[in-house]
Structure 1
Amino acid sequence: MVYYTFLKWQTSEPNYRYLLTAPDAETINDWWREASTKDPEHVKRLGPDFYSWGSGAQAWDLAPSFLNKIIYTLLNDRDGRIISNFAQPPRVSVLSGDSYYIRSKSSPELYWLEKGGLIYATKQDRTRSTFRLDGERDSDRNRTVIIGKDYISVSAVGGSAQKYVSVNDNGEVVLSGHSCRMCYSDLKNM
């Protein structure tokens, strides 16, 4: 399924509006990370499907490594013609330092539940989990959008001691006292 997002030039409301087309939402996240790292003053994420830039660079020059991964379509000026709408499923920007419920991709009614140091998939209850960029606890990178290639730590919310999600020798998902470094895309593919 293709994924769409809008990109607007900050200094002109009616002009230089682009529709970006990518193979999936993760490609858009990766594009944004490269573009905003290269020019953090001028490239802004206004929402998961809406971005802006204000430098003199062309839209396709914001993240050059994505030239073969994203289609940049210049939209008609505001007063010219109607912009076509697109429908796609809503998505959440996963932010470092925020907490979320984790659920199954294949069976969305199943959520992760922490009980007795183990993680269970259940329909009965659920436990919130905090996602952090690896090594970034209480840092200025909290609230950074997490993308697939980021290493993260996941901890259960609540309890007296900080416990992190990891995998034990039996292949079970458990909570332990130390962080298990994992790639966000690996968690998404579990």
Structure 2
Amino acid sequence: MVHYMFLTPPHTVGLNYRWMMFAPDGETIDKWWRNVSESSLANQVKRISPDFYSLTAFVGGPNNMFEIPWKFVPSMDAETSWFLISDYNNKLAMPYVQPSRVDVRSGDSYYIRSKSRPDYFWTVAPYSSYTLFDETHDKSLVDERQPMIWASDKSRTRFIIHLDGQEGTGNRGTVIINKDPITLTAAVGNHSQHVSVNNHNMLILGGDSGRLYYGQLKNRFLAQSGNLNYSAAIVTENTDAGEEWELVK
């Protein structure tokens, strides 16, 4: 679906120069913001929410970036389109309504749930904690004391997301985009155990974190069970048939 982002000028400008950007999805807007925030224009734009931004200064003239906002990130011209919704000759703008989305930032904690079945969340539990075992997996492949990642409609665990290598650094708060390498830690205990994939493609808590990219949450992991009465399934890595997961507050 088409996603919208609003860009407003400083209040001293009044109702003029209010822009709307069209993008194919919310991730493209986050990518636009990452480019702006890492450029020389970073101090001229403030992120109020994932889809609402404010210009922090205004200078008139032919080189005024607020009259030509598409030049903030010219490399994304093919992915975005701009529309002036309020200017000197048009003081009114039509409202646009779209679902709110989560602001995913390094260092913050989230629940992870299935996009296709929103009542199923990632949760951490030893394999032996469930009395009904998933018949699609061989129990001999796992240590029954090993904390594993399950998708369940009965419990859920919060996870802390970090840009890879930035735990405990001053980069907390960076907006995360699809191409970013990330680490996930469960918000339990001392937060020292990373989510990783074992030798049997099962997600576990502990071991080496490996290399995981944020965008892979959309297509790399799968939770399914062959038991119709089963309320949880092990989350596995499946590069060919993964389902989409989303982070929620």
Give the structure-2-normalised TM-score: 0.72
Q: Do the aligned partners of 2:111 and 2:122 also contact (CA within 8 Å) in 1?
A: yes
Encode CA deviations 1:152-176: one digit per residue, 9 max, x unaligned: 1000011246111111111111111
Q: How far is the alpha carbon of 1:127 from its aligned partner?
A: 0.6
Encode CA deviations 1:45-103: one digit per residue, 9 max, x unaligned: 11111012336423011011111111100112388342111121110101111111111
Unpaired runs of at least 5, structure 1: none
Match of 1:18 in 2: 19
> Hey, what's the Cα distance between the residues in 1 that align with 2:25 and 2:182?
21
Where does structure 1 differ by over 6 angstroms across 4 or more consecutive aligned residues? none
> Hey, what's the Cα distance between the residues in 1 that align with 2:86 and 2:46?
22
Q: How far is the alpha carbon of 1:147 from its aligned partner?
A: 1.1
Pairing partner for 1:41 from 40, 43, 48:
43
Q: How far is the alpha carbon of 1:35 from its aligned partner?
A: 1.4
Identity of aligned residues (%): 42
> Hey, what's the Cα distance between the residues in 2 that align with 1:147 and 1:62?
18
Match of 1:166 in 2: 196
CA RMSD of aligned residues (A): 1.7
Number of residue pairs matched by the alignment:
190
2:119 counterpart of 1:119: no
Match of 1:104 in 2: 114
2:99 counterpart of 1:69: no
Identify which range, 136-145 or 81-90, moves more after superposition. Answer: 81-90
Unpaired runs of at least 5, structure 2: 59-63, 127-146, 222-249
Q: Do the aligned partners of 1:164 and 1:180 also contact (CA within 8 Å) in 2?
A: no
> Hey, what's the Cα distance between the residues in 2 that align with 1:162 and 1:84?
49
- 2:122 is paired with a residue whose SS is strand
